[in-house]
């Protein structure tokens, strides 16, 4: 309930306001007692002096409900807009509580329209959360941030565009860096399907003339089930042969015993590091116009 900026229902915010007895001396630095209701109006705060830390309940009549629908976790809620707004150096801002004693300046005040919240002094922002870029010392209040977010995306995000904290799903790089083609080592049909996926992937890369080739792993799972079975040995032999013939990495893992899993991911990361074109982003590489044209795309 008290993870930083964890969404709460109206009922949860009211109950938290009644039951929170944590002294202010053990404030946000000690326990991170910051929370927000799902509509974004009920935020945590501290009383003055040596009072108790309390959570202000939601005051928005539209969203006074027991909780979200099981079938639609975003029903009756406006997820906080926490997605991809950059600072002047194109760093993504992060939502942070204000731990300073003097407040902060909203950089929106120096823009043409001014700060959306009307903040012009540090006194007005003292204790308020902010969207911040630490390296650039760049801050935005919530209204300025949300206005920029809507201008950049050009639309209001639907529920399936966000995770349970309201953050927008977006890839961290320009390209997919690695693929794990996972199959059951005890099932020949599963192995054949992985080979079909591998061929389809290579055909796609060739068709699109993608020069930067991602790292591809064939991953055999359930190696602990029956290692002496003929079916297992046939799949294993075929996979090893293909690995040598086509220069594709083949790894075997057991989820049950957690065998080979760490090594798999470690080798994948090391392979990606040697191909800087997959992950090295130059300054200003983000193109918001191209993102708007990709509204029909899904991140898998």
Q: How confident is the prediction for the chain on average, in pLDDT?
A: 69
Residue 44 sits at φ, ψ, to 5 deg, of -75, 150
Q: How far is CA 7 from the centre of its chain?
A: 15
Task: Looking at the chain, list the stretches that DSSP marks H as alpha helix, in order from N- to C-terminal side.
Answer: 10-19, 28-31, 122-125, 142-153, 188-207, 230-246, 261-273, 276-279, 288-293
Residue 193, pLDDT above cutoff 70: yes
* The overall pTM is greater than 0.75: no
- Dump pLDDT digits (tens) for 31-83: 333 444 444 444 444 333 333 444 444 444 433 333 333 333 333 333 333 45
Q: 41: closest CA among 64, 73, 74?
A: 64
DSSP 164-195: TTSPBP--SSSS--EEEEEEETT-HHHHHHHH
Q: Please, what is the Cα angle at 77 between 75 and 83, to 5 degrees?
A: 115
135-161 per-position pLDDT tens digit: 888 999 888 887 887 777 554 444 444
Return the pLDDT at 74. 34
- Residue 10 CA to residue 59 CA, distance in Å, equals 9
Percentage, residues of the chain above pLDDT 70: 57
pLDDT at 207: 86
Please give the pLDDT value at position 50.
Answer: 38
Could you give the domains of the chain?
6-63 (no CATH), 94-161 (no CATH), 178-279 (3.40.50.300)
Single out the residue of 210, 206, 208, 216 nearest to residue 247, CA to CA: 216
Q: How big is the chain by its Cα radius of gyration, in Å?
A: 25
């Amino acid at each position: 309930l008290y993870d930083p900026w964890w969404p709460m229902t109206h009922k949860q915010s009211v109950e938290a306001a009644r039951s929170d007895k944590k002294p202010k001396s053990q404030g946000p630095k000690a326990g991170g007692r910051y929370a927000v209701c799902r509509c974004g109006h009920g935020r945590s705060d501290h009383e003055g002096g040596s009072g108790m830390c309390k959570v202000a309940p939601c005051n928005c009549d539209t969203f006074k409900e027991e909780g979200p629908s099981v079938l639609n976790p975003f029903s009756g809620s406006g997820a906080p807009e926490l997605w991809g707004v950059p600072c002047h150096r194109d760093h993504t801002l992060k939502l942070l509580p204000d731990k300073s004693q003097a407040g902060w300046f909203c950089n929106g005040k120096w823009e043409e329209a001014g700060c959306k919240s009307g903040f012009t002094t540090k006194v007005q922002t003292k204790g308020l959360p902010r969207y911040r870029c630490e390296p650039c010392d760049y801050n935005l209040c919530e209204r300025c941030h949300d206005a920029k977010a809507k201008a950049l995306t050009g639309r209001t995000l639907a529920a399936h565009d966000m995770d349970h904290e309201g953050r927008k799903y977006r890839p961290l790089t320009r390209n997919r860096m690695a693929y794990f083609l996972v199959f059951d080592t005890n099932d020949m049909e599963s192995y054949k399907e992985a080979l079909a996926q591998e061929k389809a992937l290579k055909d796609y890369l060739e068709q699109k003339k993608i020069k930067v080739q991602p790292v591809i792993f064939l991953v055999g799972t359930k190696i602990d089930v029956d290692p002496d079975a003929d079916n297992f040995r046939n799949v294993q032999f075929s996979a090893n042969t293909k690995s040598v013939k086509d220069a594709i990495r083949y790894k075997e893992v057991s989820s049950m015993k957690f065998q080979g899993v760490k090594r798999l991911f470690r080798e994948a990361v090391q392979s990606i590091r040697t191909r800087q074109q997959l992950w090295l982003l130059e300054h200003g590489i983000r193109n918001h116009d191209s993102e708007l044209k990709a509204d029909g795309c899904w991140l898998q």
